[in-house]
């Protein structure tokens, strides 16, 4: 697997985390890969062969070749039918809301064809340009022109949402939502509604994903090989709490994760 990331133009840095590319040669014994939640929304273009997305057991759909990957809370499996070449845009949790008017909760836990959100004609034109581009730098130029043309007013992300996100990111997901809102129930209900519209999942769910990201990064980068220590450093109640959250989002335990070939792609992304 060849995975590379690229930084956006400064104008788009508040919204776009990075652009990334993935290339994998075709293999007769292609391994299913388990994709785990990362708290982001992505636009992805499949430029080589199709990719299966398993819905249950051996049942699958083919992913759209130009799509938006919404927020996810459950792991799922994908498997290429041949060679892989992907170009994608990874948005910060609040970034994608500046481009569309639909509530982002409608995009959660699924892939949505680009045409559903941006119209058939504009989406086909963008996909054609991305396919015909001379390389990754050309693709970045094309997508940045498209994104600039679609930007809504910055007020699309409410102050209360931005403040909550900033605190969750700074604390790596460990700050309780009640602590952020000073335990005001009316503010919590308002925040839940705003998160559903502009983030796609609840503030508590996003906090759990961000905290898992921090623990996963620590585990993958071998910063600490003691699970109890990782749990403590990421402010889980105890190791049992860490193990439960880990299994909720990945489907397996932290120890199994390190030796599971189906996690190699997710491990690559998190590193």
Q: What is the pLDDT of residues 222-240, one digit of tens each?
A: 665 688 888 888 889 888 9
Instruction: Tell me if 123 is assigned to some domain.
Output: yes
Strand order in the sheet with 111-113: 2-6, 16-24, 84-91, 41-46, 66-69, 111-113
Instruction: Tell me if 108 is assigned to some domain.
Output: yes
**CATH code for the domain in which residue 74 is found:** 2.60.120.10
The count of domains in the chain is: 1
Instruction: Tell me if 184 is assigned to some domain.
Output: no
Instruction: Tell me if 50 is assigned to some domain.
Output: yes
Q: Residue 226 — φ and ψ, nearest 5°? A: -100, 115
Residue 133 confidence (pLDDT): 97
Q: Are strands 51-56 and 111-113 parallel, antiparallel or unpaired?
A: unpaired
| Element holding 191 (H helix, E strand) | helix 185-198
Closest CA to 84 of 195, 191, 2, 173: 2
CA-CA distance, 188 to 178, in Å (whole number)? 8
Which residue segment(s) compose the domain that 11 sits in? Answer: 2-153
Instruction: Tell me if 197 is assigned to some domain.
Output: no
Give me the residues of the chain with pLDDT under 70, please. 152-157, 183, 185, 222-225, 270-271
Instruction: Tell me if 263 is assigned to some domain.
Output: no
Residue 157 confidence (pLDDT): 59
Instruction: Tell me if 210 is assigned to some domain.
Output: no
Instruction: Tell me if 186 is assigned to some domain.
Output: no
């Amino acid at each position: 697997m060849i995975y590379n990331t690229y930084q956006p133009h400064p104008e788009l840095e508040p919204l776009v985390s990075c652009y990334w590319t993935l290339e994998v040669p075709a293999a007769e014994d292609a391994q299913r890969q388990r994709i785990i939640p990362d708290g982001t929304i992505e636009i992805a273009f499949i430029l080589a062969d199709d990719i299966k997305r398993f819905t249950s057991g051996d049942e699958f759909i083919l992913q759209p070749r130009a799509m938006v990957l919404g927020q996810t809370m459950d792991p799922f499996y994908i498997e290429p039918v041949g060679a892989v070449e992907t170009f994608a845009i990874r948005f910060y949790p609040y970034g994608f809301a500046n481009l569309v008017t639909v509530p982002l909760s409608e995009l959660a836990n699924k892939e949505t064809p680009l045409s559903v959100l941006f119209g058939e004609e504009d989406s086909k034109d963008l996909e054609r340009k991305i396919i015909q581009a001379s390389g990754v730098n050309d693709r970045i130029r094309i997508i940045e022109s498209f994104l600039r043309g679609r930007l809504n007013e910055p007020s699309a992300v409410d102050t209360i949402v931005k403040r909550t996100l900033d605190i969750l990111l700074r604390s790596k997901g460990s700050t309780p939502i009640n602590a952020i809102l000073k335990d005001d129930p009316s503010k919590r209900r308002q925040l839940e509604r705003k998160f559903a519209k502009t983030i796609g999942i609840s503030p508590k769910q996003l906090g759990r994903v961000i905290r898992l990201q921090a623990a996963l990064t620590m585990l993958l980068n071998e910063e600490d090989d003691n699970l109890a220590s990782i749990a403590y450093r990421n402010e889980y109640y105890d190791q049992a709490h860490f193990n439960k959250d880990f299994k909720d989002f990945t489907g397996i335990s932290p120890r199994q994760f390190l030796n599971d070939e189906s996690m190699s792609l997710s491990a690559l992304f998190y590193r």
